[in-house]
Amino acid sequence: MRVRAFFEAAKVEGVQSPYDTIHLKILYPAQIPESQLEKSIRIKPANPEKAPFPVVIFFNGYNCDAQQYQWLAVKLAECGLVVVLFNWIAKNLPGVISLTPGVDFEKMKPTIYRTAPTASALPALLAKLEQLQSEGILGGILDLQRIILGGHSAGGRVAIENADPHFFPSVAASFGYGLHTMGTLFLGYEPGTILPLPDSIPLLLMGGTCDGVIANNSDRYGVSPGNATTPVIRTFQEAITGGRNDSYLVLLDGANHFSIVDQLDSTLDTSLLDFPATQSQESFRLLMGEIISLFIDTHVRHQPQASQSLEQLLNTANPLIKSFERK
């Protein structure tokens, strides 16, 4: 299926200018032009074959440009999904201007956590989707009752901890790579605290055994440094109860923190803490893309064939998969 994209912008309420604007890139399944007149149209019409389209909102990691995840957005759009990537430059961390997934640290404090959303960008993104549904190229063909939140690193955490129908009734599933839900010491949590997740809709949690960013940031959470997967495993074991058989933990053997990223930006310090991946990064991305798309087709689109393919993929011996759990 052909994929095309267009750009949009959204304002975030309560944020001081000039840091109140999010820039979006929206990828969608496009109709193949037949005539010269159609080919001359700047924005190609959507392919209605699989409409209405569920929507994936993807939250980037800190200082990771949205373009670095376009490979995944294209893969998902080819499967008949609309995907929203975005860049937001803001003062999200104290005294730091950076690309941010939008984290409300005030809402992450022990006395507030789980009583309010922690995703400061999400309300503006959802409002923009409502606008796109009412007019333009995607008008009337979005399924805004089936929204999937996904992300990487801090953005992955934003995705899975805000996949709560109590706050956002339209969210149907979530996925993330390279994340955990340990509470940071500077917010007032006891060392080694695992924060709970909503645990009410399907969840896909993925991590890599060579994730140096998780291993080398352990001091922020008051735990011994050096372990790349224990925080991820503990999140799956302790943050959710499960019981519906739609929550997954997949650990990739030899993947590092940025295995999900295409063309890492060498001018930024984002990758300095990471360990080298021990296998091809492209192979990890191909596998992650397949797992994510099958997870969505199984638990959001409810396609029986996808469910069988996902089970086969995860249960067949694969040198890239260290372990797999489901509950």
Separation of alpha carbons 90 and 107, rounded Å: 17
Structure tokens given for 247: 């929550």
* pLDDT score for 34: 60
Q: What is the dihedral of CA 183, 241, 299, 23, to 10 degrees?
A: -10
Q: What value does the CA radius of gyration of the chain take, rounded to a whole number of Å?
A: 19
pLDDT in tens, 165-181: 999 999 999 999 999 99
pLDDT in tens, 8-19: 999 999 999 999
* pLDDT score for 286: 98
Q: How many CB atoms lie within 10 A of CB 219?
A: 11
Q: Which domain holds residue 192?
A: 3-326
Average pLDDT of span 184-200: 96
* pLDDT score for 300: 98
pLDDT in tens, 206-246: 999 999 999 999 999 999 887 899 999 999 999 999 999 99
Q: What is the number of domains present in the chain?
A: 1
Separation of alpha carbons 94 and 168, rounded Å: 27
CA 179, 289, 72, 78 torsion-angle sign:
negative
pLDDT band at 266 (very low <50, low <70, confident <90, very high): confident
C-alpha dist (Å) from residue 93 to 99, 114, 258, 294, 314: 10, 20, 21, 35, 37
Structure tokens given for 185: 């010491």
pLDDT band at 39 (very low <50, low <70, confident <90, very high): low
Structure tokens given for 179: 């994340």
Is the model's pLDDT at 323 over the cut of 50? yes
pLDDT in tens, 285-320: 999 999 999 999 999 999 999 999 999 999 999 999
* pLDDT score for 37: 45
Q: How far is CA 313 from the centre of its chain?
A: 21
- The beta strand positions in 67-160, using DSSP E, are 82-87, 89-93, 96-99, 142-152
Separation of alpha carbons 83 and 214, rounded Å: 27
* pLDDT score for 265: 86
* pLDDT score for 95: 79
Is the model's pLDDT at 74 over the cut of 80? yes
* pLDDT score for 54: 98
% of the chain residues with pLDDT over 70: 97
Hey, what amino acid is at 304?
P
pLDDT band at 284 (very low <50, low <70, confident <90, very high): very high
Q: Mean pLDDT highest for which of 224-238, 240-254, 263-277?
A: 240-254
Separation of alpha carbons 180 and 162, rounded Å: 14
Q: Where are the alpha helices (DSSP H) in 112-201?
A: 122-134, 154-161
Strands 142-152 and 96-99: unpaired
pLDDT band at 41 (very low <50, low <70, confident <90, very high): low
* pLDDT score for 264: 87
**What pTM did the predictor assign?**
0.95
* pLDDT score for 42: 65
Average pLDDT, the chain: 94
Q: Tell me, what CATH number does 19's domain have?
A: 3.40.50.1820
